[in-house]
Structure 1
Amino acid sequence: MNPVTFSHWRTSSYSSGDPNNCVEIGATLDARAVRDTKLGAESPLLAFSARQWRSFTAATKAGRFRQRD
């Protein structure tokens, strides 16, 4: 993926307001990125194309990443 400037960062709804346990999601028209809130702009980014992001979020909502006992 080419270098991109992500904007419109939002905090995950699962962060529960704890600044030490948060991730943020940034967006462009064609891509999404995840970063560590406490590092802000200095955080490394995990970037996805829009298609990859849709696939990832669909799998998450379907429970494919839940831990099994």
Structure 2
Amino acid sequence: MTTEQPQWFTSSYSSNGGDCVKVATNLVATHGVVPVGDTKRNEGPTLTIEARAWSAFVEMAKHSQV
């Protein structure tokens, strides 16, 4: 089995000096997960979230009021 590496990206809305979350959506189709990490800790730990849970989180964030 080939192990794919996460292809990280940060939202274009994240221009706050480096306090950002990075995500890798390239593993959804093959593994059903979305790795999530901290841009300040490139070699640091990551969370691996099921794709359905990530989608629900994104939808909730879109509709939340701050």
Q: Same fold (TM over 0.5)?
A: yes
Partner Cα distance (1:13, 1:49) in 2:
23
Comparing 4-13 with 44-53, greater Cα deviation is found at 4-13
Q: For the aligned residues, what is the CA RMSD?
A: 2.1
Structure 1 residue aligned with 2:6: 7
Q: How does 1:1-69 map to 2 (within 5 A)?
A: 6-16=5-15, 18-19=17-18, 21-27=19-25, 28=27, 29=29, 30-40=32-42, 42-63=43-64, 66-67=65-66
Alpha-carbon shift at residue 22 of structure 1 (Å): 1.6
Question: Helix, strand or coil for the counterpart of 1:24?
Answer: strand
- Secondary structure in 1 aligned to 2:41? helix
- Give the 4+ runs in structure 1 shifted more than 3 A: none
Taking structure 2 as the reference length, what is the TM-score of the superposition?
Answer: 0.71
Q: Which amino acid aligns with 1:55?
A: A
Residues matched between the structures, number: 60
User: How far apart, in 1, do the equivalents of 2:13 and 2:55 lie?
Assistant: 18
Report the alpha carbon displacement of residue 14 of structure 1 after superposing the two structures with TM: 3.1
Could you tell me which runs of 5 or more consecutive residues in structure 2 were left unpaired when the two chains were aligned: none
Question: Quick check: 10-19 or 46-55, which moved more?
Answer: 10-19
In the alignment, structure 1 segments of 5+ residues that lack a partner are none
Choose between structure 1 and 2: higher helix proportion.
Answer: 2
Aligned identity (percent) is 35
